Amino acid sequence: MFVGGIDLPDEKRPTLARAIEVAARPRRLLVPLAPCAATPAEPAVKPGENVQPGQCIGIARDCAGVDVFAPLGGRVESICTVAVARWGSFAESPAIELADLSDPAGIVPPRRTEAPDEPAGRDFDWQAAGDDELLARLAQGQLTTHRFRPQPLAEFLARARAGKCRWTILNVLDHEPYVSSDHRLLAEFGPEVMEGLAIVARLVGSRNIIVAADHRRTSHYQSCDAPAERFGIARIALPHKYPIGADTILTKVLTRRETPPGQSPLSVGTAMLDAPTCLAVYQWVVRGRRVLGRVVTVAGPHTARPGNFWAPFGTPCAELASLTAGANPCAAGGPEPTLIHGGPMAGTLCDARAVVTPGSGAVLSLEAAHMPLPGPCIRCGWCMDHCPARLNVAMLNDAFELSLVDRAALGGALACVECGVCGYICPARLPLTQRVKQLKRQIVALRRAAAEAPGAEVPPARAGQPAGAHGSHAR
């Protein structure tokens, strides 16, 4: 296990046992042309054109991007700008606006009905195909990973193959409160996800394939047992101490290897996957269908009808929350709920223009009154006790208040996994997570500046005053 961590309230009960439903038809879709952090794709359609479901509407400009497809049929209204979540903040991306949409039930992948060994209904026999053939087929699919920071699956696979990964890990822990989308996906599409995982693991070339699940939910995953046996996948139940689903922490728990600060688990030979990606891989490789939506948990204390919903990519988050979850019960005089994109611990405040992308696992409406005023640090040390990266967060907070970026770098700020435990536990209600994230950004910017100008001056010890710094004197 890992040092630190915390038991969070689970809060998943309303959504845990409900089957995934199809979200109501949105008025329009704003399909982002840059779902991954890359150059936006070139629009392939013009306003006024009619598109079919699954039609290509954007062509990638370089290998870091992916082609974009229309999740639903409809009419191209215009090309506008939306916000796409990446690494805990929102970035702008051009998008194609679709109106007069077709029925959203079309994005739901069909269940596998045939017996496991029966080849009927399969377009492609991946077990008989060679690696190159399989890679070529995957590359045609233009899939992305569905992580916190989505990236093209082809790029991910190339890096994983170059890194000689010994482990392929499917992370279905859903460790954040309220969020249960991966759990529902594995419970309902277990065999498909297992087969998709087996396909990716074969391409990565790793011997150890592991499914890491929450120990409280394993009884829901019985449909995975037979396929897992067949593909040699180990199923491991893990305890629910909070940031166990963070990539680096899960790598440490399962492989005993610690990821160096600022790098991804690929650097220690671990390919970390998620359930929606595996499902998309199965659907494309075996069935020849693209999954152009994802399961999003819509929940929170202000939601009338919480649940998990299939939402096509490009659904505006605010519309998804109001359409699927019913009217806001607090609209009559209650406190205004705050929309959160992602889980309550590591998510971000939902931008007004935010849309569903491969990285959106949840849209939650929480109470705005939950954000208390910060006070002075009382140096209780709980942030450090519970930090899974063992950072001295109190010291980093001092460094932030005094704008000592180099001291923060010395304190190892880059190892932060941005799980949000320090901000959760802080009795002084300091925005610790936010401050450490800001320090990380400054350190990365300084290092990049130093790397771009070799032989130039050493980066200054004091960077510019951070926005939140105020003259309080720390020790």
Please give the C-alpha separations between residue 342 and each of 45, 50, 69, 191, 452, in angstroms, as whole numbers.
Answer: 31, 32, 23, 26, 34
**Nearest distance in Å: CB 366, other proteins:** 5
**Nearest distance in Å: CB 398, other proteins:** 9
Per-residue mark of binding to other proteins, 359-378 (x: CB under 8 A): -----x-x-x-xxxxxxxxx
What tokens appear for 20 in the block?
């995934």
Which residues does 13 contact at the CB level (< 8 Å), separation at least 6?
none
Q: Which stretch binds other proteins (CB under 8 A): 50-58, 126-134, 139-147, 342-350?
A: 342-350
Q: Does 465 bind other proteins (CB under 8 A)?
A: no
Q: Which member of 215, 429, 448, 462 binds other proteins (CB under 8 A)?
A: 429
Reported as type and span, the H/E element at residue 185 is helix 181-188
Subset of residues 293 to 322 that bind other proteins, contact rule: CB under 8 A: 318
Q: Does 470 bind other proteins (CB under 8 A)?
A: yes
Pick from 113, 295, 119, 124: nearest CA to 199: 124
Q: Which stretch binds other proteins (CB under 8 A): 63-71, 229-237, 284-292, 348-356?
A: 348-356
Per-residue mark of binding to other proteins, 252-291 (x: CB under 8 A): x-----xxxx-x----------------------------
DSSP string, 266-316: GGGTEEEEEHHHHHHHHIIIII-----EEEEEEESTT-SS-EEEEEETT-B
Which residues does 445 contact at the CB level (< 8 Å), separation at least 6?
none
Question: Residue 172 or residue 366: which is nearer to other proteins going by CB?
Answer: 366
Q: Which member of 58, 152, 276, 347 binds other proteins (CB under 8 A)?
A: 347
Which residues does 115 contact at the CB level (< 8 Å), separation at least 6?
none
- Measure CA 255 to chain center: 22
Q: Does 415 bind other proteins (CB under 8 A)?
A: yes
Q: Does 379 bind other proteins (CB under 8 A)?
A: yes
Q: Which member of 15, 145, 171, 248 binds other proteins (CB under 8 A)?
A: 248
Q: Does 247 bind other proteins (CB under 8 A)?
A: no
**Nearest distance in Å: CB 372, other proteins:** 6
Which residues does 124 contact at the CB level (< 8 Å), separation at least 6?
137, 285, 286, 288
**Nearest distance in Å: CB 115, other proteins:** 45
Q: Which member of 356, 395, 399, 463 binds other proteins (CB under 8 A)?
A: 395
Q: Does 472 bind other proteins (CB under 8 A)?
A: yes
Q: Does 433 bind other proteins (CB under 8 A)?
A: yes
Question: Residue 169 or residue 249: which is nearer to other proteins going by CB?
Answer: 249
- Measure CA 140 to chain center: 23
Q: Does 349 bind other proteins (CB under 8 A)?
A: yes
Torsion sign across C-alpha atoms 132, 133, 139, 144 = negative
Subset of residues 9 to 68 that bind other proteins, contact rule: CB under 8 A: 9
Asked if residues 252 and 417 have their Cβ atoms less than 8 Å apart, the reply is no
State the SS3 of 426-467.
CCCCCCHHHHHHHHHHHHHHHHHHHHHCCCCCCCCCECCCCC
**Nearest distance in Å: CB 209, other proteins:** 24
